[in-house]
């Protein structure tokens, strides 16, 4: 009897509790994804901007809708705490070397430096690539050398070596698909990923 009473109390409390709320938002590019809200009562799919679901006590979530003003009022603090979106770009190299092109060197020293400085506790990933001239072993080494050259440049600009990682992918991941043995400037690159 006692246990039954407790169960009843728990059910009542659960029914009185405010429901969990879920809001689907457009991302920074205006795209809207999908979200399935599931529990013992069933599934509710959210697939449009500002669609909402309210769920409590194992009952199927109720679909609804909100608007940007209400979202800012209710969720302004948590939205303001989102970290900056990760940034990525390419640096290009002169033929058969680990020398950056003049444009890429300028870009790295100015715009890229400022961009990275805007990140709290920045982490930087550098992935080197080559075009298809030369063998795999040569290109694996050259692609890694290119990433290391960019790492040294960024260290020289004041960024922490401990938070810069490098990798070389040789000629496996071409930006512009070509036959083997083709000199293609756009494939001679280092991807810079900052988060």
- 18, 67, 73, 179: residue in contact with another protein (rule CB under 8 A): 18
Binding of residue 164 to another protein (CB under 8 A): no
- The separation between CA 1 and the C-alpha centre of its own chain, rounded to angstroms, equals 54
- 8, 10, 34, 106: residue in contact with another protein (rule CB under 8 A): 34
Spatial CA neighbour of 167 closest among 148, 195, 180, 185: 148
Binding of residue 23 to another protein (CB under 8 A): yes
How far apart CA 188 and CA 128 sit, in angstroms, is 8
Binding of residue 75 to another protein (CB under 8 A): yes
Binding of residue 81 to another protein (CB under 8 A): yes
Binding of residue 72 to another protein (CB under 8 A): no
Return the number of the residue (71 or 182) whose C-beta is nearest another protein.
Answer: 71
Return the number of the residue (36 or 95) whose C-beta is nearest another protein.
Answer: 36
Binding of residue 126 to another protein (CB under 8 A): no
Binding of residue 22 to another protein (CB under 8 A): yes
Spatial CA neighbour of 151 closest among 112, 120, 95, 111: 112
How far apart CA 166 and CA 148 sit, in angstroms, is 7
- The separation between CA 16 and the C-alpha centre of its own chain, rounded to angstroms, equals 39
Binding of residue 31 to another protein (CB under 8 A): yes
Spatial CA neighbour of 24 closest among 58, 76, 67: 67
For the chain, the residue count is 195
How far apart CA 172 and CA 163 sit, in angstroms, is 25
Q: How far is the CB of 67 from another protein (least distance, A)?
A: 13
Q: Which residues bind to another protein, rule: CB under 8 A?
A: 13, 17-28, 31-39, 46, 53, 55-58, 61, 71, 74-75, 77-86, 119-121, 123, 195
């Amino acid at each position: 009897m006692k246990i039954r009473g407790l169960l009843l109390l728990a059910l009542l409390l659960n029914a009185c509790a405010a429901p969990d709320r879920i809001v689907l938002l457009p991302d920074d590019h205006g795209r809207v994804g999908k979200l399935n809200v599931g529990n013992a009562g069933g599934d509710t799919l959210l697939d449009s901007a500002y669609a909402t679901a309210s769920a409590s006590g194992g009952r199927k979530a109720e679909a609804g809708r909100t608007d940007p003003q209400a979202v800012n009022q209710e969720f302004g603090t948590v939205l303001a705490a989102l970290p900056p979106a990760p940034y990525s770009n390419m640096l290009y190299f002169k033929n058969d070397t680990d020398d950056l092109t003049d444009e890429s060197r300028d870009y790295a020293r100015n715009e890229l430096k400022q961009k990275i400085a805007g990140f709290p506790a920045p982490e930087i990933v550098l992935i080197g690539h080559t075009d298809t001239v030369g063998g795999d072993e040569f290109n694996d080494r050259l692609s890694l050398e290119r990433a290391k050259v960019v790492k040294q440049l960024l260290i020289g600009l004041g960024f922490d070596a401990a938070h810069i990682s490098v990798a070389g992918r040789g000629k496996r991941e071409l930006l512009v698909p070509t036959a083997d043995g083709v000199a293609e400037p756009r494939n001679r690159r280092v991807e810079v990923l900052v988060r």
